Amino acid sequence: MKNLKDTCINFFHHEDTKNNIKEIFTPFVDIVYNELYIYLWIFCFFNIILFGLIVANIYLAVKLFKYILNNSPYN
């Protein structure tokens, strides 16, 4: 006798079952995607701006470090 896990796995291996599930969930996925679309773009732009700020801070820190090393009285 098959257990519930094997029965479910066999059920989802059929191609027509996969297609039916995709058809059922397609409207739900579209609605969620349309609601989250703007937030995904905001998140992407925020990460790009944050990456730019981090690179700028590293550049300025290296520049300041070189300035301090070149002008230290203990050379």
Using one digit for the tens of pLDDT, what is the confidence trace for 19-55? 888 899 899 989 999 999 999 999 999 999 999 999 9
Give yes or no for residue 1 having a pLDDT over 60: no
C-alpha 50/C-alpha 56 separation (Å) is 10
Domain spans of the chain? 15-70
- What was the pLDDT predicted at 73? 79
**Percentage, residues of the chain above pLDDT 90:** 56
Give me the DSSP letters along 28-75: HHHHHHHHHHHHHHHHHHHHHHHHHHHHHHHHHHHHHHHHHHHT-TT-
